[in-house]
A and B are shown apart, each in its own frame.
Chain A
Amino acid sequence: MRGMSSMRCNLLLWAMLLACGGVAAAQVSTYNLGRPPSEQELRRADSLIAPNGEGLPPGSGTAKQGEVIYLTRGCAQCHGSTGTEGPAPPLVRSPAPPARSARAETPGHEDHPGGKPAAGRETFNWPFAPLLWSWINVGMPLNRHGHLTPDEVYSLTAYLLHRNGVIEQDDVMDAKSLPKVRMPNRAGYVPPPSSEWWKPEVRGR
């Protein structure tokens, strides 16, 4: 494109835009299969939360409230009373190195990727705070999606963020404040790529 005149460039761009618009407008159902989703189905699907917080429901909570929920609603059973003991992955940054997993000790299978702690998935490593809300909401406790109310998920999110030194104990987390939380490892992630990034010839690997 660099070699082209800007006028030709513009014309091309307009032609492409028109072509795309034309296709979108002309899209009609070919097979007439399927049905529109019910209200309930769409509500369930709303539990998918974008990194920028799009989709977060009404509700709120603080770290203080979250601590009680953490201890009484099942979290501590798997993650330990302070979020560091396990056996489930640690939720709170701990100075001690994680114990080697049993897999890493399996003869011939030492240092298998599955045997290592999952780098980047711990609370303090997440790039955007709403993702933490989303994961607790759909994944925790395991197999019990819907067990926690939005208020409880906001409280637990606040508790974990506070325990990792990201927010204050009395900070109220809700659909507005949570996306504004600056995660400490944000700079450790690359920004979303262009739509061409996946092409192998572009990666040139």
Chain B
Amino acid sequence: MGSKRTARRRFLKEGAALAGLAVGVPSASGQTLGSVRAERPTDLTVARSLMAYGERARFVKTSRFVYEDAWDLHTDPNGKDAHTVLDQQLGIITPAPLHYIQSHGNPPPDIDPTQHRLMIHGMVDRPLVFTMDELMRFPAVSRIHYIECIGNAPNPRAKTLEAMHGMISCSEWNGVLLSVLLKEAGVRSGASWIMAEGADATKHGKSVPMGKVMQDVLVAYGQNGEPVRPHQGYPLRLVVPGFEGKYHVKWLRGIKVVDQPYMTYWEQSSYIKGENHQGAYSPAQGPKSVITFPSAGQRLPSRGFYTVKGFAWSGGGAVRRVEVSTDGGRTWNDAHLPEQPLRIALTRFEFPWTWNGGEAVLQSRCTDDVGRVQPSAADHARFWGSHKAPHGNPIQPWRVTNEGHVLNAL
């Protein structure tokens, strides 16, 4: 398996050079490799390699938006942030190569799965160390859940969909329930939290309350049918459904069972009092939705019929209802939910709309099955004490101009 991978990597390198030569286009232009690749490989090795691990059509160029600066303290280019492009996503599953990346500047550690261990320790009767093979021998579960960064939020100053809504992705996560592993170790009475620890440069750690852990927290080794990708935590990550993205500890190597939150570097902001104290300490994300078509940066070519499309989700459960307004929030109508909404997963919605060529403000509003309703920007700011507060789930309005340009209406 290892030699095959090496061969593929070598091919990609040489193939890129060859393709660049053949067409006379420098491949460093930022365009995808596919844009300069020959229509169909004639070389036997190349063809075989593509048959062994497929590539997308050369006409498809969807790619993440990679931030060039990202986290001043790091210099490793592999630690940059990348936002997904929700308006290009077809269906609720985000392809793993397009999953948003936010690792606080840390490049993915290069972990050999045969050497990787998960240790469960602290307030347990039997501290245990598991190999990847052993973890895979436990009964497995597969769950479709979104993961969203706490910083993903509408913003009056931003101009594009991916800038404000590019840090959410949805995957099928495959792995073992943490509750099963903790039962093996025997949780002692008095234990009320876990402290999960990653193997990255700064040992990213997060405290998760035991109630949540026993409910649905997953130790995942699979993502969309293949091993979790390096930027997503290969070979092992925590999935804490509905909690802020930073709780989903990547490159997971330790679970310490404890009796208090550890308030680590990256979780401290969760405990800070805002102007409004209701805001503090609440990592479960509220109901949210966004229209992805039409959205900021796009342009409607002509008046007439369009299917307004978007995604809704909630950290509290399943989406129960999505409403759409095309008149700036004066009137609301139920959107169509083409599929049965899944718990804590992206949910598609659609709404038929005929553009008459005039100015219009489009927005969507999500209600989850707990009964919570997505707030307006003003309500959100009132609740949290600031529009820059965490949990950026206010309604996102888009303005369609007379010329069909779509702009951020905040």
Interface residues of A (CB under 8 A from B): 20-21, 24, 27-31, 33-37, 41-42, 45, 47-52, 78, 86-89, 101-103, 106-115, 118-121, 125-128, 131, 134-135, 138-139, 142-143, 145, 188-190, 192-193, 195-201, 203-205
A110 near B158: Cβ-Cβ < 8 Å = yes
Chain B 214-243, CB-CB to A under 8 Å as 1, else 0, gives: 000000000000000000000000000011
Given contacts A101-B69, A139-B201, 13 further A-B contacts (CB under 8 A): A20-B189, A33-B137, A34-B184, A35-B129, A48-B262, A50-B262, A106-B69, A109-B67, A110-B157, A128-B263, A131-B262, A188-B272, A190-B281
Shortest Cβ distance from residue B378 to the other chain A in the assembled complex, whole angstroms: 15
Contacts of A111 in B (CB 8 A): 155, 157-158
A43–B1 CA distance with the chains assembled, in angstroms: 35
* Interface locus among B252-260, B356-364, B398-406: B252-260
Closest to A205 in B: B286
Task: Provide the residues of chain B in CB contact with A89, threshold 8 Å.
Answer: 72-73
* CB pair B265 A36 closer than 8 Å: no
- Known contacts A48-B256, A139-B202, A195-B210; decide if A114 and B70 are in contact (CB<8 Å): yes
Hey, which bits of chain B sit against chain A, CB under 8 A? 67-74, 81, 102, 117, 119-121, 125-130, 134, 137-138, 150-151, 153, 155, 157-160, 163, 183-184, 186-189, 192, 195, 197, 201-203, 205, 209-212, 242-243, 254, 256, 258, 260-265, 268-269, 271-273, 277-278, 280-284, 286, 297, 314-317, 368, 370-372, 383, 388, 391
- Kindly state the separation between the CA atoms of A134 and B391 in the bound complex, as whole angstroms: 27
The reply to whether B73 and A29 form a contact with Cβ atoms under 8 Å apart is no
Using Cβ atoms and an 8 Å threshold, which residues of chain A touch B102?
114
A31, B260: Cβ atoms under 8 Å? no
Contact of A31 among B127, B184, B256, B261 (CB under 8 A): B184
Partner of B195 from the list A31, A48, A120, A121 (CB cut-off 8 Å) is: A48
Evaluate whether A205 and B70 lie within 8 angstroms (CB atoms) in the complex, with A45-B256, A197-B209 already known: no
User: Are the CB atoms of B158 and A198 closer together than 8 Å?
Assistant: no
- Docked-complex contact B202 and A126, CB < 8 angstroms: no
Rounded to whole Å, the gap between the CB of A43 and the closest CB of chain B is: 11
B203 near A41 with CB under 8 A, answer: no
Q: Is the CB of B203 within 8 A of A27?
A: no
CB of B370 within 8 A of CB of A201, answer yes
Assess whether B73 is in contact with A78, with CB atoms less than 8 Å apart: yes
Set of chain A residues within 8 Å of B137, measured between Cβ atoms: 31, 33
A86 to B, closest residue via Cβ: B72
- From B67, B125, B160, B283, contact of A27 by CB (8 A): B125
B-chain residues with CB within 8 Å of residue A127 when the two chains form the complex: 263, 268, 271
Contact assessment for A205 and B151 in the assembled complex, using a CB-CB cutoff below 8 Å: no
B157 neighbours in A (Cβ, 8 Å) = 110-111
> Which residues from chain A contact B286 at a C-beta distance below 8 Å?
200, 205
Find out whether the CB atom of A29 lies under 8 angstroms from the CB atom of B126.
yes
CA distance A138 to B204 in the complex (A): 9
User: Do B260 and A51 have beta carbons less than 8 Å apart?
Assistant: yes
Query: Which residues of chain B have C-beta atoms less than 8 A from A192's C-beta?
Result: 260-261
Q: 11 pairs across A/B with beta carbons < 8 Å?
A: A33-B137, A41-B119, A103-B67, A109-B159, A110-B157, A121-B268, A135-B265, A190-B273, A192-B261, A195-B192, A201-B371
Say whether, besides A27-B125, A110-B157, A34 and B73 are in contact (CB < 8 Å): no
Instruction: Write the nearest CB–CB distance from A189 to chain B, whole angstroms.
Output: 5
CB neighbours (8 Å) of B119 from chain A are 37, 41, 45
Q: Which chain B positions have C-beta within 8 A of A193?
A: 209, 281
In the complex the two chains form, what is the Cα distance from A198 to B247 in whole Å? 13
**Contact (Cβ within 8 A) A201 B264:** no
B282 touches A205 (CB 8 A): yes
CB–CB B212/A30 < 8 A? no
- Please state if B272 and A195 are interface contacts (CB–CB under 8 Å): no
Contact of A139 among B211, B265, B280 (CB under 8 A): B265
Known A41-B129, A139-B265; contact A196-B73, beta-carbon cutoff 8 A = no
- Report the separation of the CA atoms of residues A196 and B281 in the bound assembly, to the nearest whole angstrom: 12
Residues of B within 8 Å of A190, CB to CB, are 271-273, 277, 280-281
Nearest 6 CB-CB pairs, A to B? Answer: A200-B316, A113-B151, A102-B69, A88-B73, A34-B128, A139-B202
Q: How far is the CB of B288 from chain A (nearest CB, A)?
A: 11
